Structure 1
Amino acid sequence: MNIFLETDRLVLRAFTEADVDHLVALDGDPDVMRFITGGRPTSREVIQDRTLPRLLHTYPCFGIPGYWAGQEKTTGAFLGWFEFRPLDDDSPAVVELGYRLNKAAWGSGYATEGSRALIRRGFTDLGVERVTANTMTVNAGSRRVMEKAGLSFLRSFTGDWPEAIEGSEHGEVEYELTRSEWLRRSEESGRPQRRP
């Protein structure tokens, strides 16, 4: 197993072709897909032909993928995935943070724990200068995770989506955290982080 990082309760590892069934189950849950497709499941064909290749893509500026399968550390159970990918394949300066977890994992702090670990790794080891994340304005759960992970509200905007879903009339929100702000907060809390 190609492990990218571990936390107290999580293992984040590279995806493999063997993860198709996990992804079909994840994207087949209407509650998981509520703020992505309006609850419509993603077909196995789309997961095999489009989703998995995106999750397996290696970014030249990192030399590693930008998506990681999240597993519960003690049981090995697949919880979902975390995104920490550069917006530009050739520059690590700005990365997008994201997460999609099984409904059974909601409310347990896994999304926050994994997000914080990725942010720390990005700012200390990968040359990241800014982390950005966005979601639908009405997705209160995801917004809470962004805030708990240390990101701050930046702006509201209207996305140009091919199909409207319930709540999309309220638009999208973007959150961000810069490396300098992360270091400042760490030093103020008395826990200075290792500088790259």
Structure 2
Amino acid sequence: MSQPILRTERLRLVPLSAGHLEHEAELSADPEVMRYLGGVRTREQSAEALRKLLADTRLGLGCWAGFLEAGFAGYWALRPGETPGEAELGYRLLRKHWRKGLAKEGSFELLRYGFRDVGLDRIFAGTATGNKASQAVMAAIGLRHIRDFVSDDPGYFAPGDDRHAVEYALDRAEWLARD
């Protein structure tokens, strides 16, 4: 199953490709966008990150570049989890698109796609404890707070970062009951 183009009221979500390097570099160069994602990346680091994202596309899951009529807005991801039937939701938007409901809009579409079209059993998301804006998006789309934990993922946090994190999740039965 390949990734489809997804649409919302305002967004066109296109499967991520090597042609999106300029967008990856733009997102990764902003210290506020990358505040909870390991810090700013160089263009070369962005290219390597993009290669890794593209290598982890399977079962119709992966990353999407989101576009408004005015152009690029950000990335949304639904990546395979470690357990079959699970996927991890993620999103990263250009700062000029923050607080406009786009993270919620794109994420809700990925929930719909993941549960209805892919047939996932569970979708989860995680973020740094301090990232209250991301936690608000997770709650707004119906994910429940599952746990607080200290991350052992060295690739997620920059050296010296506070590694306290949270996990939110929603399972298929919960989603179907409220859909």
TM-score by length of 1: 0.82
Q: How far apart, CA to CA, are the structure 1 residues paired with 2:22 and 2:80?
A: 26
Q: Which has the higher contact order (CA 8 A, sep 6+)?
A: 2
How far did residue 164 of structure 1 move?
Answer: 2.3
Q: How many residues align?
A: 173
* Superposition RMSD in Å: 1.8
Asked if the contact 2:144/2:170 (under 8 Å) is kept, the reply is: yes
Please tell me whether residue 100 in structure 1 is matched to residue 89 in structure 2: no
Amino acid at match of 1:164: G
Q: How far apart, CA to CA, are the structure 2 residues paired with 1:124 and 1:47?
A: 32
Task: List aligned pairs for 1:54-133, cutoff 5 A.
Answer: 54-57=52-55, 59-60=57-58, 62=59, 64-72=60-68, 74-75=69-70, 77-88=71-82, 91=84, 93-133=85-125
Give the 3-state SS of the residue equivalent to 2:36 in structure 1. helix
The range that moved more, 137-146 or 51-60, is 51-60
Which 4+ stretches in 1 moved above 3 angstroms?
Answer: none
Task: Name the counterpart of 1:47.
Answer: 46
Runs (5+) with no aligned partner, structure 1 = 187-196
Q: Note the alpha carbon deviations across 1:121-178, whole angstroms, 9 max, x for none.
A: 111110101000000111100000000111000000001254222xx26x10000000
Give the 3-state SS of the residue equivalent to 2:81 in structure 1. strand
Asked if the contact 1:57/1:65 (under 8 Å) is kept, the reply is: no
* Percent identity of equivalent pairs: 38
Give the 3-state SS of the residue equivalent to 2:5 in structure 1. strand
1:164 and 1:70, CA in 2 relative to 1: closer, same or farther beyond 3 A?
same
Q: Note the alpha carbon deviations across 1:45-72, whole angstroms, 9 max, x for none.
A: 1122x21112323544x1x351110111
Asked if the contact 2:128/2:166 (under 8 Å) is kept, the reply is: yes
TM-score by length of 2: 0.90
Structure with max Cα Rg: 1
Q: How far apart, CA to CA, are the structure 1 residues paired with 2:96 and 2:78?
A: 22
Q: How far apart, CA to CA, are the structure 1 residues paired with 2:165 and 2:147?
A: 8
Q: How far apart, CA to CA, are the structure 2 residues paired with 1:81 and 1:150?
A: 20
Runs (5+) with no aligned partner, structure 2 = none
